[in-house]
Amino acid sequence: MDRLQAALSPKLASVAADKLWQFQLRKENKALLEQLQENERRRQFDAAESNKKLKENADRIIALESRLAQHEREKARDEQARKEFMKGDAAFKAMVKDYLERRVPEGMSENCPCKNLG
């Protein structure tokens, strides 16, 4: 029996060690799988948050571009109105100057206030 027991003992120890390793590997695999699943949940949450912020920022950019375009249109309109005013003002000054020059006698044209009009 000692021979049989001695022959079986290394095999039994080997099988026991294999079973222990299998148990330990399953336990570690389960822990790693749970950690991977938790990381995936966090990644999905972070991705959803990033997408939400990206959309919000894109909407803000669109709104700001719209406001900028509106300000540019208003600036162009104001510039056009200023040019029209300056054109009208120049025409008015020319008309006043012409009027004053016709009304001032010939010898007094040196002191004519219309010289300052433009």
Cα–Cα distance list, 15 to 8, 9, 21, 42, 95 (Å): 10, 10, 10, 40, 117
CA dihedral 49, 52, 55, 60 (to 10 degrees): -90
Q: How much is the pLDDT for 101?
A: 85
Q: Which domain holds residue 90?
A: 2-117
Domain count of the chain?
1
pLDDT, tens only, 39-90: 999 999 999 999 999 999 999 999 999 999 999 999 999 999 999 999 999 9
Q: How much is the pLDDT for 118?
A: 54
The tokens of 115 are what? 């010289």
What's this model's pTM, rounded to 2 decimal places?
0.53
